[in-house]
Amino acid sequence: MNYLFFLNHYPPFRYPPQIATVFEQAQIIANDSNHNVTLIYCDTCETIGKCYHFRRSSKLVCHLCNSYKKYFLKKLSNKINLLPLSKLSKEKKKEIIPSFNYDSVEEIKKLSYKNVDIGYAAFSTYISSIARNLNPLMDDFFKKKFDQFLERCCMFTNIVDFALNEFCPDHVYLFNSRFIDTKPIVDICISRKIPFTSLETKTTLEEQHLQVFFENTIAHDIHHITSLIKKQWDSSSLPVEKKIQIASAFYNNRRNAIPAGDKVYVKRQQLGLLPDGWNAHKHNIAIFNSSEDEFAAIGKVYESELLFPTQLDGIKAILELFRDHTEMHFYLRVHPNLTYVNYLYHNLMYELEKRYTNLTVIKADSPISTYSLIDAADKIMVFGSTTGAESAFWGKPTILLGNAGYRNLNICYLPKDSEDVKNLILNFNLPAKDKIGAFQYAYYLLNEEDGKYNFFRFINKKIYIFKKPFWLRYFDIKGAPLSKFITTISRLVCLKIYDYLPKEEIPTKEDEEVYEQYLQ
């Protein structure tokens, strides 16, 4: 069989698990003599312009990236055909890239080129790599920069199209699936019905990375995630009691601000602290929003399953329904990950408190405890954060208003429309759902039976210097005893140089007119 691998353009010293995961799978498949493996990698910024992380993109960054990458390329099996992107680009005929017209985010998302949703790819890249701005001002400066994203996405689409024609792969591998250097691969494979695997990673309780595989789909495919969760639970050799013990550790760790495969957001919160004026005699409903920018440009299918266009729309609609209900009180806990986000989709949350007397808004950096809110509230409403699974685990009736990996595990109520939401809120005796799905979800996140690395292991190791914790991050490459030392030093040098490079000016202005409806 012919296998084709694509290595992202993102500098590997910035996110090492990417290169480890792609190389690991290429090495495994290449060890089978019946397979032909080709790996395409970026070797110069001159192929499709600056890499998408262009705030510090330069020839020096390109040199650092390639120098770091070359060490790993030399460790791959000689059975793997290594193909630089520049060589592939020279072999194909140049094509004229069309220009695109757009004046809104909605119009951007409709942009397409050769069956690739380049609008989604470019906007997702902009939000994740440049600015957490969901509604950028469509001025000349923004369009000039954003057109570069669109152009690069089209250029890479042409290269992918050429590569698939040239190598006729039976299977394609890539890491992630939604940026300008990966979404073209996914969309073209889907349109041509070429099997592909989207690679991702997850983190264990010990802060180590494991591989996750998404066959012929993306990492945000909720239905596929559901099947993975149930498959891992059902196929595990561990007894149910042990699986429940592992899952429970996930929720207990998060409550106690101990790392559990994700960033700890509650370190500065005070367990037991509730908002002033908490009245236990009222029907108290805690609303937990999420970092909306993380899922703002996933794709059409993901967005089609959302109950409200935005979280601000959803919260406002609920508050309007119960504006005059003095027997209940809503507490909006703004996600801590929004603390330093100075955009209106975040800031307008605090304006709602001035309009609704039965609402208390808890700031993103407030010391008020998320878990004390869960414990004290009568019911919980979430838009997709892990808090939804946690509240279900802690025995609270939970209403999911967005999308989440635990959506189909029967641990949350899933209203179909605003009327459903209203009826669920008005039911003061709404029971909590069964916890088994919460156990399955946490076990999936922490399960260490699958996805281990054999050839390219990326290690997170905590050390203490003068009683202060520091993280060492390095590679342990099979057959390369010096890899720990070499990759530790080289990565630190690359990061230090990278951080001192000047940043380009980027478009960060917001289109405030979009939010006028929320101010009326």
Long-range Cβ contact pairs of 417-423 (< 8 A, separation 24 or more):
417/307, 418/317, 418/321, 421/307, 421/317, 421/318, 421/321, 422/321
What is the model's pLDDT at position 60? 75
Question: Concatenated DSSP letters for 411-425?
Answer: SSB--SSHHHHHHHH
Count of beta carbons in the 10 Å neighbourhood of residue 240: 11
Contact 262, 337 (CB under 8 A): no
**493 pLDDT exceeds 90?**
no
Determine the Cα–Cα distance for residues 394 and 433; give it in Å rounded to an integer: 11
Residue 55, pLDDT score: 58
Read off the pLDDT of each residue in 328-339 and give the average, rounded to a whole number. 95
Query: Which DSSP symbol is given to 97?
Result: P
Nearest CA among 289, 288, 292 for reference residue 134: 292
The residues near 156 (Cβ < 8 Å, ≥ 6 apart) are 48, 180, 181, 184
Overall average pLDDT of the 199-204 stretch: 88
Amino acid at 76: L
- Residue 508 and residue 184: Cα distance in Å, rounded? 26
| Residue 40, strand partner residues | 6, 83
Average pLDDT, the chain: 90
Rounded average pLDDT over 332-357: 93
Cα separation of 38 and 55, whole Å?
31
Domains contained in the chain, CATH given: 2-203+452-500 (3.40.50), 242-445 (3.40.50.2000)
Give the model confidence (pLDDT) of 441-480 as tens digits: 999 998 877 888 999 888 887 778 777 777 778 888 888 8
Per residue in 355-372, pLDDT (tens digit) is: 999 999 999 999 999 999
pLDDT tens-digit readout, 11-59: 777 778 888 999 999 999 999 878 999 999 988 776 776 665 555 666 7
Digit-coded pLDDT (tens) for 125-183: 999 888 899 999 999 999 999 999 999 999 999 999 999 999 999 999 999 888 999 99
Q: Torsions phi, psi of 257, nearest 5?
A: 60, 35
What is the structure's pLDDT at 127?
A: 92
